[in-house]
Amino acid sequence: MAIGQSMLRVDAHDKVTGTAKYTSDLEPRDYLVAKVVHSTIAFGEVKAFHLEEALAVPGVVKILTCFDVPDVPFPTPGHPWSVEKAHQDVADRKLLNRRVRFYGDDIAAIIAEDNVAADRAARLIRVEYEEFEPYVTVDQAMAPGARLVHDEKPNNILVHSGFQVGEMTYDEAVAGEDDLVTVQRTYRTQTVQHCHIEPPTSFAYQEGDKITVISSTQIPHIVRRVIGQATGIPWGNIRVIKPYIGGGFGNKQDVLYEPLNAWLCTQVGGRAVKLDITREETFASTRVRHAIDFHVAGAVRRDGTIVARKCLANSNQGGYASHGHSIVANAINGFKQLYRDEKALECEANTVYTNIAVGGAMRGYGIPQSCFATECLAEDMAHAIGMDPLEFRLKNCMQAGYEDPHTHVQFRSYGLQDAIQKGRELIHWDELRAKYQNQTGPIRRGVGMAIFCYKTGVHPISLETASCRMVLHQDGSVQVQMGATEIGQGADTVFTQMASEVTGISVKKVHISSFQDTDTTPFDTGAYASRQTYVSGMAVKKTGALFKQKILEYAGYALRYPVENLDIRDDQIVDTVTGETLRSVADIAVEAFYSLDRSQHITAEATSHCKVNTFASGCCFAEVEVDIPLGKVKVLNIVNVHDSGTLINPQLAAAQVHGGMSMGLGYALSEQLLFDAKARPLNGNLLDYKLPTAMDTPDLQAAFVEVPDPTGPYGNKALGEPPAIPGAPAIRNAVLHATGVAIDSLPLDPQKLITAFTEAGLIDD
């Protein structure tokens, strides 16, 4: 049995010893260097360039500007392509842009012999702009008379959507009952950056009529398609290679600079071009997590029953659509999916163009923002009626069998209430809630919690498809090829375990490559949406069953044995009736390759078109210590409990949870990308942007409730993104318990806390 075992990661040795090859390790010979020239304003028009001095720098080969690129708008998000135009992503940017829509927009590119020449030339380029007043917030961008960031989008609203559940409105539900307790709040989440170790980087070169792009990306097959759309190069003439990748967290689920690099390569006769960017450019010019303002209301009876809720979410999209409305639409879906509203639920959402950095995918895809609003509101309703917030959640949370009325995604397996009870015991909830009541003094402690649910993959909103190929080697081992991408999360290890489980070939004889090559690798849409173990895992299982059957058919021929009586167990062909070992798979493989009578190269490939989905769920509990005069929050203990179905690799699962919890700590307490009034980033570097370090991190506890899901290939469901979701509201709610002060925005930094504590009378003016 390979499933359920904590086997060593298949890439562990290469990554620990430094032999793993990343994009920069695969540099072609004699390559040129490209440097992007970014706008120094946030909103306006490029009128002219003055390039004379820059072109005179020794080593400069060519300078291309926004006036030179193809006049072709294209989409950048890593979504599956839709054959239906109405469902296609927004194509609103070009390789280089004349209309500047955020500070750091791409307006020109220098190709030079080396970095020194490129950097010198960039400093000498002078640009003439017509500058407009930029919009930093959604309120500014939606104000009457605001200039349009994109002319085709009135009021700077990319998309508005909404829904209602129940037969009455929120106002009608509230008016219909006496003695309801209502809570109205605005909860705000901030802009943050992914901060993956490896910045986006790529090489592009031409051989014959084929452009090859080596890229640090989560979505190689989608990158190929977008390069074609942006440049006009036929998709079959584009090859994308994805080696080991130093993290992505969703930022590399956008097609960032690969199309520009491919086009630059064609402008220098196909010579190899390297395009990488600095950490500061990564902050300013790639993607960020959306800041979202949630205007919410909730009505609850004094017995704790939620009667009605409503939510208006305004998402700060920045200058370009990227993933567009899908993220805030997912956020209001998340608001809907956690709790039962007896009478009414209303949700609306706007995605709003502004002039800050572009919002894109980031771990959780709108649900960390949504969970903060949902779980703050739940906490504040429980607080308003004096009810224990854990009991409030148990009373109102979604039940087994819940089906979303719009997407029809169901709780096909359900461990949420068991997870809450397990977390309750691990954090000693009842004891600490009583212990920390009615505190005084400058140092106080509290304990808080938050729950979440998260779907597995993107069906039915979008296509879910994945393929796998297996090839039998002469020694009886199997080569597994996946279009699904390893980005550090352990996917290749899990696929190895799945392949072993289904074929009967031992783990040590399953080989998998972390490199994807769109010319040879089966199609897969990539690493996102916590989909790969679920969706791509279905392809592994389907392919493995076909592959095993082909081996057994050949073994039946070679052994003159009925195929129905054969199986593979631990690399051996066995008689299922007697249990007798007949031959090794290695012996059968040699005969299949070299038989003079019937030579057969055994391979299998299958596509899984996934048309199901399910919810993963869980909770986070946090114990904190608050230094009121300093406005400092110290997390003393934090526990995540997850229902992610059957765990394929428990040790990898715990590692995923620990990583997500660390991201949640930063989101809660310190991380925020700040902009000045001109929409310029103020702290776009790893010195001023405050990531938590080991010194800021308590021991992280990961626990699981394993409820096998009937739709998962091995009973499994989402785990990649959920750990990053509930930490921030759990910590906020713990601060409320400690101090009695409800903080309605992230992060919970000292300046914000001191202001709030002063207003609440906990600190003397």
157-215 per-position pLDDT tens digit: 999 999 999 999 999 999 999 999 999 999 999 999 999 999 999 999 999 999 999 99
The answer on pLDDT for 373 being more than 90 is yes
| Same domain, yes or no: 536 and 651 | no
**Domains held by the chain: number:** 3
Which residue reads 């055994």 in tokens?
602
Q: Please state whether beta strands 210-215 and 238-242 pair in parallel, antiparallel, or not at all (unpaired).
A: parallel
| Same domain, yes or no: 318 and 392 | yes
| Same domain, yes or no: 431 and 564 | no
pLDDT at residue 57 in the model: 98
Q: Give the pLDDT mean for 634-658.
A: 98
The answer on pLDDT for 83 being more than 90 is no
| Same domain, yes or no: 650 and 672 | yes
pLDDT 10s digits, 115-169 = 999 999 999 999 999 999 999 999 999 999 999 999 999 999 999 999 999 999 9
pLDDT interval class at 323 (50, 70, 90) = very high
Within-domain flag for 389:
yes
pLDDT interval class at 85 (50, 70, 90) = confident
pLDDT at residue 84 in the model: 82
How many CA atoms lie within 13 Å of 98's alpha carbon, on the beta-carbon side? 9
Q: Give the pLDDT mean for 547-555.
A: 98
| Same domain, yes or no: 322 and 352 | yes
Q: Give the pLDDT mean for 583-596.
A: 97
| Same domain, yes or no: 645 and 689 | yes
Beta carbons within 8 Å of 27's beta carbon, 6+ residues apart: 203, 272, 274
Within-domain flag for 285:
no
Within-domain flag for 188:
no
| Same domain, yes or no: 265 and 299 | no
pLDDT at residue 339 in the model: 98
Q: Is 429 helix (H, G, I), strand (E, B) or coil?
A: helix
Lowest mean pLDDT across 82-86, 220-224, 229-233: 82-86
10 Å Cβ neighbour count for 538? Answer: 26
Q: In percent, how much of the chain has pLDDT > 90?
A: 98
pLDDT at residue 310 in the model: 98
pLDDT 10s digits, 19-52 = 999 999 999 999 999 999 999 999 999 999 999 9
pLDDT at residue 34 in the model: 98
pLDDT 10s digits, 722-765 = 999 999 999 999 999 999 999 999 999 999 999 999 999 999 87
* Mean pLDDT rounded to a whole number for the chain: 97
Within-domain flag for 180:
no
Q: In percent, how much of the chain has pLDDT > 70?
A: 100
**CATH number where 251 lies:** 3.90.1170.50
Of 229, 246, 276, the residue at which a domain comes to its end is 276
Can you give the residue range of the structural domain that contains 48? 25-132+200-276
Within-domain flag for 640:
yes
Of 609, 641, 668, the residue at which a domain comes to its end is 609
pLDDT interval class at 562 (50, 70, 90) = very high
Of 609, 626, 647, the residue at which a domain comes to its end is 609
pLDDT at residue 87 in the model: 83
- Output the pTM of the full model: 0.97
| Same domain, yes or no: 423 and 534 | no
**CATH number where 317 lies:** 3.30.365.10
| Same domain, yes or no: 535 and 562 | yes
Q: Give the pLDDT mean for 270-284.
A: 98
The answer on pLDDT for 315 being more than 80 is yes
Q: Give the end-to-end CA distance of the chain in Å, rounded to a whole number.
A: 65
DSSP string, 336-397: HHSB--SSEEEEEEEEEE-SSSPB---TTTTHHHHHHHHHHHHHHHHHHHT--HHHHHHHHB
pLDDT interval class at 535 (50, 70, 90) = very high
The answer on pLDDT for 463 being more than 80 is yes
| Same domain, yes or no: 499 and 454 | no
The answer on pLDDT for 230 being more than 80 is yes
Give the residue from 613, 638, 634, 618 showing the smallest Cα distance to 717: 613
| Same domain, yes or no: 730 and 645 | yes
| Same domain, yes or no: 396 and 258 | no
